[in-house]
Amino acid sequence: MYPFFGMLLRRRNTNPPPCGHTINHTPSLQAHTREQGADHMYRTEISFRPDEIVQYLRKSRTDDPYLSVEEVLSKHETILREWAERNLPGPVPEENIFREVVSGETIKDRPEFLKLLRLIESPDIKAILVVEVQRLSRGDLEDAGRLMKILRFTHTQVITPHKIYDLEDEYDRDFFERELKRGNEFLEYTKKILNRGRQLSVSQGNYIASVAPYGMDKCWVQEGKRKCPTLKENEKADVVRLIFHKFVRERVSPYAIGLYLDSIGEKPPKGEHWTYTAVQEILKNIHYDQKVCWGRRSVEHKIVDGKVLEMRPRKKDFEIFDGKQPRVVDHELFLEAQELLKQTSRTRHDYTPVNPFAGLVFCRTCGYSMSFRFYRRKGQKDTCPPRMLCSNQIRCRSSSCSYSELEEAVAGILRQTIAEFQVQLNQETFDAARASETTLKTLEGRLHELEQKELRQWEKYADGEMPKEIFDQLNERLQASKKAARKALEQARAAAPKTPEQIREKIARLSDALNALEDDTVPVPLKNNYLKAVIERIDYYRPAAVRKRSDSSEPKVRGGWYTPPFELDVRLKI
């Protein structure tokens, strides 16, 4: 028995050490690890003030869609509030608390967390308070590395109820990295299990998408002890049948069907008016034929210019199963509609960009984007030069313009802006710049003085030389003074005149965009990038053409039709 007992003792000595320690085998390393672990385990004395801490709360999903963000995160918030009551002289300010219900897979898809990362760039913020490290990120190694770099080089510590992580320390950095990797592994495993369950549910005929097709509503049916999601018809199902009937029996195009539905006052699934695409999507939807599908628009990743982009292309090959929902249109009618769609479909073979102003020009009347249109016939060259046309022209009635007219107008605005900056550069603005610099230094000094005063007050309060009532009053006044000083400093920085170097940099960017626009050898995507670097948005306005009376003194154009000149409102980024 004694040898067996000794084996048990040796077995127990090989267990992993508690949290905060590192596994080592040499006596010197073990002693150093125990000393490091004791130093980095949870400390009861926190040197941070409440306004130097930001609090982050996140959950991936909510159990009830009608709950607010605060209600979903209430348990986590209670844990952190109790921690703050035990370890801080006061609660974390509300403006320093960030809440969101979103997946932690990527940092770029979390707006509140991005605000937090911008906030910790300030030296005033010393730590982030979270329930656990995995609340910050469960992303891949790229996201984890980016987060660790930001926290390390901004000297920001991470506080959890169980441990404080200082990423400038190599042991804490190693623990922190392991926690992030563990969170990512758990996320990937969870996604795999959930995806397998969703695929099985669809194969059984259930409808698991979040949005029901037009003319149907989501509902639940009881199958034994299970409640299965499916679809049922609503009052718009007759509109779906009308669309199929007009398209198949009356041979009406999807565009004409949309105009007809608008004329009878029928509202579309999205937007204010029916479009060709909206009608076409209804005609293609297999759920009206009592089917469900899987894998029709799965997420794919593509590398473009060194960046990973997520895309959801429509696939031709996807799984189709019999659904549990009722049939909205006859099976034969649905098949006839698919055959007609194949005959009338247009296949685009060349996806090379052709519009240098893509994503920049919008109609001021309706807000729709302006399209770059070619007018050509099969086997022939262009019948007329390309034009810029509002995508919603049939309703807003704004007139189009030739691409060359728009290009010339934008180039003229860029030239005028460059000339204005040249005038500013030649003027004597150095005295104003020096006066502004003096003002900024004065305000920065005032803010630094208030921060030092605040530190002295906290030291007196911590040493017991100042009663809490007096400290609270002085601290409230000081915080108001700091807020006013920061606001004055921001306003002074915004109103500061541009330096000659800044003006030259703006002239260079504008000149690059102008040269690229006027150079026919520059590729269209590169022209678009140059223009987007200096232009935020272009609003286009041109009233509809009117016919002039015979007694009008203005010259007649195109058989008596007169088109007024167009107007451009160009918003520059500089």
Position 31 scores a pLDDT of: 36
Query: Hey, what are 115's tokens?
Result: 């605000």
User: What's the pLDDT at 427?
Assistant: 64
Query: What pLDDT sits at residue 491?
Result: 79
Last residue of a domain, one of 497, 522, 549: 497
H or E stretch at 522? none
Within a domain: 314: yes
The reply to whether 304 and 419 lie within a common domain is no
Tokens of 416: 């005028």
**Does 157 lie in the same domain as 103?**
yes
How far is residue 182's CA from residue 207's CA, in Å, rounded to a whole number?
33
pLDDT of residue 549: 58
Same domain, 573 and 492: no
For residues 403 and 450, state if they share a domain: no
Q: How many domains does the chain have?
A: 4
Q: Does 411 share its domain with 435?
A: no
Three-state DSSP state, 553 = coil
Instruction: Assess whether 264 and 314 both reside in one domain.
Output: yes
pTM reported for the whole predicted model: 0.64
334 and 361 assigned to the same domain: no
Q: What's the CA gap between 207 and 190, in Å, rounded? A: 21
Domain end call among 282, 313, 344: 344
Residue 550's domain spans which residues? 356-428+501-574
Residue 222 included in any domain: no
Which pLDDT does position 551 carry in this prediction? 54
Residue 370 CA to residue 367 CA, distance in Å, equals 9
Residue 28 lies in a domain: no
Owner of token pair 């510590």: 157
Are 141 and 164 in the same domain? yes
**Domain contains 89:** yes
In this structure, the answer to whether residues 327 and 373 fall within a common structural domain is no
- Of the residues 497, 520, 541, the one at which a domain ends: 497
Maximum distance among all Cα pairs of the chain, rounded to whole angstroms: 122
Residue 190 resides in a domain: yes
- Residues of the chain short of pLDDT 70, as ranges, are 1-45, 62-67, 345-350, 376-383, 427-436, 495-498, 547-561
Helix (H, G, I), strand (E, B) or coil at 233: strand
CA distance 321 to 205: 6
Are 406 and 524 part of one and the same domain? yes
Q: Would you say residue 279 lies in a domain?
A: yes
Question: What pLDDT is stored for residue 323 in this prediction?
Answer: 93
- Claim to verify: residue 84 and residue 185 sit in the same structural domain: yes
- For 369-398, the DSSP string reads BEEEEEEE-TTS-EEEEEEEEETTHHHH--
pLDDT at 244: 96
Same domain, 420 and 459: no
